[in-house]
Amino acid sequence: MDLQPLLEHAGRLRVVESDLSFHDGERYSQRQKAHTPFGGIMWSIVLEGDLAPIAPLLRAAKVVHFGKGTVFGLGRVAVEAA
């Protein structure tokens, strides 16, 4: 898959709103028998422009998820139309 055209198109989208924060949490490790820190970045972004060319990637991200903690149910991607 040639990503260059998608990256160029994404560069033409406008960021209307962005909120980045760190979520601090912990989980219990059965292997270590202890609570371990489990934090990460949470980000919400509102884009303006033609999302049609990147829509297949956004739909895939909703299903696959990505990032740290994905195996623990994190890395969720939600896509909503404004």
Phi, psi of 41 (to 5 degrees): -90, 135
Give 26 or 1, the one with higher predicted confidence. 26
Boundaries of every domain in the chain? 4-72
Q: Report the mean per-residue pLDDT for the chain.
A: 88
Q: What is the mean pLDDT of residues 44-70?
A: 88
Is 47 a residue whose pLDDT tops 80?
A: yes
Helix, strand, coil share (%) of the chain residues, nearest 5: 30, 35, 40
| Range of lowest pLDDT (2-16, 37-51, 68-82) | 68-82
Q: What pTM did the predictor assign?
A: 0.69
pLDDT digits (tens, 9 = 90+) for 71-81: 877 788 888 87
